[in-house]
Chain A
Amino acid sequence: MNRLPLLFIGILATFGSAWLGIVAYAYVNLGSLEPLVSEDTGGLLPPPLSGSAIAGQKVYAANGCLYCHSQQVRPASLSTDIAKGLGPRRTVARDYIHERTVFLGTMRTGPDLTNIGVRQPSVAWHHQHLFEPAQLSEGSIMPSYRYLYKVRKIQGQPSAEAIAVTGPHAPGPGYEVVPTQEAKDLVAYLISLKRNYPLPEAPEEAQ
């Protein structure tokens, strides 16, 4: 092939077509969605994230939660995600507009977290689970995130923040486990994950 202008134009044009179709299209059409106003409550859908939950996204990213946990519910026509209780409806583009980084995920080595805040709203449960996953969910292969916690000597009264921990890494008598700010933010983020509000573009499907 010695018609070089053709070669260069072809190389750039083939690539450019997909760049326009995927990148530019997504940017224009999915990159500027607005939240809806709920007719029932007057609140925004999806609801905005709290400051702590936004900080928690960074902890989620820094510690690689995404590599085992997805955050997407596929439609009933394609999968059993809804029948298996991952959420009442499929997730759509508008569900993710508040996320600084979108954690759709590609693996389900661990359970999907699209609606973990609905399934497990307890702050204490999340702290205990992050500290020692296998204690609360037997057979789990999730690693311990106890490096997000501090073990310290109880000074006077035990701290109100202290979490009840059992298992091999439970502290000895006179010691307590308290979450770092990172752990608190991460749990705030996990609890905020509730994509069960109604959106007109994603009606709840019969299973």
Chain B
Amino acid sequence: MSAATALAPHPSTRVEALSTQERYEIDRSLRGPLLLFFGASIFWLLIGSVLGTLAAFKMNYPGFLDADAWLTFGRMRPAHLNVVAYGWASTAGLGVAIWLMARLCRVPLRNPSLIISAGLIWNLGVLIGTLALLAGDSRSVEWLEFPGYVTPILFFAYSLVGVWAIVMFRFRKPGHVYVSQWYLLAAVLWFPWLYATANIMLIWQPVQGSAQAAVNWWYGHNALGLWFTPIGLASAYYFIPKVIGRPIHSYYLSILGFWSLALFYSWNGMHHLIGGPFPAWMISAGVVASIMMFIPVITVAINHHMTMRGNFAYLKWSPTLRFTVFGAMTYTLVSFQGSTMAIPSLNSLTHFTDYTIGHSHLGLYGFFTMMMFGAMYYIIPRLTGWEWPSASLIRWHFWLAAVGIILMVGTLTVGGLIQGFALRDVEVSFMSSLHLASPFRYVRSLTGILLTAAHVAFAVNFTLMLLRAGDQKKSPTLFSKPTEELASV
């Protein structure tokens, strides 16, 4: 099979080639709009890191900044979540999705002002929403805390991008539709359905009783699974083959992975509500779908691994590949973890503990955020026409982020398990569950500082790049110079 595949890979396993002129025109047309999206996303990343770290320290020192309402834990925590979800992850994700869409459709952006307006309106919405949360204007619906006057702003801004993406796809140049485009189209169609349904049923006209919680976690899980995940996977499917210069291992695995994700992920949300006030079948459907997630995850993992096989040496020097492969491997890990967390006996232990917080950070950070970093390291120099000024800042960024997230998830996981055993033991007092989890929560707060430092390194490098600092380089900024042996791989 390998010989045949190597000779004639399915055409959809390759990105259609672009001439230098075409690439130049596409990237130039996207320059202003995407620098707006990426610049804003990095700004929110910094704000989100500070909010998260401060909130974490409040668990260690409850008296820390407790005098003013807007600085208290109950306001900073939702502000942290919404800033990183809508300010950082969605803004960066939209930027990456727009770039991939234009490159894969092989059409330059004809109306940059549309995308620029969308970016400005979106970020205005995030700003108003964040200030509203800090001011106490929240309904405390997790993942949907922004008040009802903010969500239409976000929805409108999103619609501009969504409609643009469909139109762009309609006018693409002829050729095969690459796997990344399936994921992008799906994300573009799923998100407005998700977001509109959830906002109408939870914020504008709240439905009655526990139906709210079902809609809430249908949204919360799908925001991860059907909004961030497809963009992240589209990015992995694009950049892994791009950097190493090989086609995707198998077209058929790509298809299986895509459709099984679409079918199973959308049913997962109810696993957040195991033991909750719902009919048993709803919970069971969520549990079964979560276990079935092994299919798309293993499929994608095999496909990516087989594509990478024999090319792992590229990780030594390509920042894009290193971040992307870190993200792709974490995707496998976090998805396996998520499936096991849906098993009711294990869920009864980890539910309501820091273990879940660790899991969500592994997903949104270890997988998605790292994937976006990888994509941005590739895309931004092509927009600015200037390479990253400092390789060592990229190195700091990678290692602080990688060590930070591994330590954070590790401490939350171990601390969460101990907390879970304490919470379910009839002989152990509630207060003991706090004391037992406490040392782990100290370390977690410190890892917040590591991640914040990683983001500062990234932001500084990005700023220096915009200022065109240093000498103009003739080749991409890499971690180290590829050896001859590597260069010829």
Q: Which residues of A contact B (CB under 8 A)?
A: 1-2, 4, 7-8, 10-12, 14-15, 17-19, 21-23, 25-27, 29-33, 60-68, 70, 72, 74-75, 78-81, 83-84, 90-97, 99-109, 111, 133-134, 137-147
Contacts and interface: CB of A to CB of B under 8 A. Distances in A.
Contacts of B435: 139
Contacts of A94: 209
Interface string B209-231: 11111110010000000100000
Contact of A62 (B138, B274, B277, B426): B138
A107 B182 CA distance: 36
Interface of B: 12, 58-60, 62-63, 66-69, 72-75, 77-78, 136-142, 176-177, 179, 182, 185-186, 189-190, 193, 197, 201-202, 206-215, 218, 226, 255, 259, 262-263, 266-267, 269-270, 272-279, 282, 285, 344, 348, 351-353, 356-357, 423-426, 430-431, 433-435
Contacts of A106: 142, 272, 351-352, 356
Nearest to A75: B275
Given A11-B185, A31-B209, A61-B139, A67 B277 contact: no
B140 A107 contact: no
A15 B193 contact: yes
A64 B77 contact: yes
A104 B255 contact: no
B214 A23 contact: yes
Contacts of B208: 30-33, 97
A8 B278 CA distance: 32
B275 A100 contact: no
A67 B189 contact: no
19 contacts: A18-B266, A19-B218, A26-B207, A27-B207, A61-B139, A62-B137, A67-B140, A75-B275, A79-B348, A81-B275, A90-B277, A96-B210, A100-B206, A101-B139, A102-B209, A102-B210, A102-B212, A104-B273, A106-B272
A31 B140 CA distance: 19
B197 A74 contact: no
A10 B259 contact: yes
Nearest to A111: B430
Contacts of B356: 106-107
Contacts of A64: 72-75, 77-78, 138, 140
Contacts of A62: 136-138, 140
Given A64-B138, A107-B352, A144-B63, 4 more contacts: A22-B270, A26-B211, A26-B278, A108-B353
Given A22-B269, A30-B211, A142 B277 contact: no
B209 A67 contact: no
A66 B140 contact: yes
A141 B434 contact: yes
B5 to A, nearest CB: 18
A134 B425 CA distance: 24
A63 B138 CA distance: 8
B215 A102 contact: no
